[in-house]
Structure 1
């Protein structure tokens, strides 16, 4: 099987960034989130159902470890663990 040119192999990685809601249901409950990392890197969480606590951490910073994949320009992470991080004011 040939791999697409815009697909990278899965790798275990620890990323850090702000947790951002990405999609909501008809009752305005968050159903998908992404991690907004430095350098405009956005990584979508694929297993939010396993870590629902991440929803309550919206707009907070965290360090997240998991398996990262990139297919078609979209980067995803299957979360294994996370640690909340202190946020500092910018400005």
Structure 2
């Protein structure tokens, strides 16, 4: 096995692992506090802030909000909408 294939294989394994752990981390974050999607995304960014460029984990809204939606549809979490002082949801 060449180094290139070896590295690509490890990247795929790491990506699948990180996707799985993101679900668990979201549940853990929500269990600790009432928090909105953006706040969850920021906490995950902090958690996955590696100095090693080989650990490229993207935690952004296009990933977090679909996960939250799927978790809500599956009954793992319950979302709610609140109105802030500026009458925004």
Query: Could you say which TM-score interval applies, normalised by the shorter chain?
Result: under 0.3
Does 1 or 2 have the higher relative contact order (CA < 8 Å, sep 6+)?
1
The structure with the largest alpha-carbon Rg is 2
Give the alignment's TM-score, normalised by structure 2.
0.26
